[in-house]
Amino acid sequence: MTETQVFEVRGLRFSYEGTPRPALDGVELQVAAGSLYAIIGPNGSGKSTLLKLLLGALHPEAGEVCYTGRRVADWGRRALAQRIGAVPQGEEMAFPITVREMVAMGRYPHLGVLGRPGREDQEAIEEALGRCDVTELAERPISRLSGGERQRALIARALAQRPETLVLDEPTVSLDIRHEMTIFDLLAELTHRDGVTVVLVTHNLNLAARYADRLLLLEGGHSAAEGRPADILSREIIERVYQWSVVVAPHPGPGRDAGAPQITPLTGED
Amino acid sequence: MTVRNSLRLLSLALLTALVLVVSIALGAADLPLRAVLDALGGGGEDPARTIVLNLRLPRAALAVLVGGSLGLAGAVFQALLRNPLAEPYVLGVSGGAAVGAVAAVVLGWNLYAPWSLPLAALVGALFAITLVLRIAARAARGFDTRVLLLAGVVVGAFFHALILLLLTFASAEAYRSAGLWMMGSLAAADWPAVLLLTAYLVPAIAVLLLMARPLNLLAMGEQTALYLGTNVERVKLASYLIASLLVAAGVAVSGVIGFVGLIVPHAIRLMWGSDHQLLLPASLLLGGGFMLAADTVARTAAAPAELPVGVITALVGVPLFVVLLTRRVV
CA distances, B29 to each of A61, A191, B41, B61, B186 (Å): 73, 76, 19, 19, 18
**Is residue A1's pLDDT more than 50?**
no
DSSP string computed for A208-227? HHHH-SEEEEEETTEEEEEE
CA distances, B89 to each of A150, B157, B307 (Å): 35, 12, 22
Residue B138 C-alpha, separation from nearest chain A C-alpha, in angstroms: 16
**For residue B269, which residues of chain A lie inside 8 Å, CB to CB?**
95-96
CB atoms inside a 10 Å sphere around CB B276:
27
Question: CA-to-CA distance for A85 and A75, rounded, in angstroms?
Answer: 15
Would the CB atoms of A105 and B217 count as touching at under 8 Å?
yes
* Helix ranges, chain A (H): 47-54, 77-81, 99-104, 108-111, 119-131, 147-160, 177-192, 205-211, 229-232, 235-242
DSSP 3-state assignment of B146?
A: helix
Mean pLDDT of chain B: 88
- Identify which of A120, A83, A106 has the alpha carbon closest to the alpha carbon of residue A153: A106
Would the CB atoms of B216 and A106 count as touching at under 8 Å?
no
**For residue A95, which residues of chain B lie inside 8 Å, CB to CB?**
78-79, 84, 219, 269, 274
Q: Which helix (H) or strand (E) holds B281?
A: helix B276-300
Q: Is B254 on the interface with A (CB under 8 A)?
A: no
What pLDDT is attached to residue A270? 58
Q: Encode pLDDT of B315-327 as tens digits.
A: 888 888 888 778 7
Q: Is B244 exposed, middle or buried (0-12, 13-18, 19+ CB in 10 A)?
A: buried
Q: Encode pLDDT of B290-316 as tens digits.
A: 999 999 999 888 877 888 898 899 888
Q: Is A27 exposed, middle or buried (0-12, 13-18, 19+ CB in 10 A)?
A: buried
Q: Sign of torsion, CA A82 A84 A85 A88?
A: negative
**For residue A18, which residues of chain B lie inside 8 Å, CB to CB?**
none
What pLDDT is attached to residue A269? 67
**Portion 60-79 of B in contact with A at CB < 8 A:** 78-79
Question: CA-to-CA distance for A98 and A18, rounded, in angstroms?
Answer: 39
Q: Is A230 on the interface with B (CB under 8 A)?
A: no
Q: Tell whether ipTM is more than 0.85.
A: yes
Mean pLDDT calculated for residue range B252-257: 87
Q: Is B83 on the interface with A (CB under 8 A)?
A: yes
**Is residue A199's pLDDT more than 90?**
yes
Q: Which helix (H) or strand (E) holds A169?
A: strand A165-169
Mean pLDDT of chain A: 93
CA distances, B195 to each of B58, B59, B189 (Å): 9, 12, 10
Q: Encode pLDDT of B147-189 as tens digits.
A: 888 899 999 999 999 999 988 888 888 888 888 888 888 888 8
N-to-C CA span, chain B: 24
**Is residue B257's pLDDT more than 60?**
yes
Would the CB atoms of B219 and A93 count as touching at under 8 Å?
yes
In the A/B pair of chains, how many CB contacts fall below 8 A?
Answer: 79
Q: Is A68 on the interface with B (CB under 8 A)?
A: no
User: Of A95, A108, A113, which is closest to B210 when you measure between CB atoms?
Assistant: A113
Q: Is B284 on the interface with A (CB under 8 A)?
A: no
Q: Please give the residue that has the higher pLDDT: either A4 or B198.
A: B198
Q: Encode pLDDT of B194-208 as tens digits.
A: 998 899 899 999 999
Mean pLDDT calculated for residue range B79-96: 86
User: Of A78, A91, A109, which is closest to B223 when you measure between CB atoms?
Assistant: A91
Q: Encode pLDDT of A148-163 as tens digits.
A: 889 999 999 999 999 9
Q: Is B86 on the interface with A (CB under 8 A)?
A: no
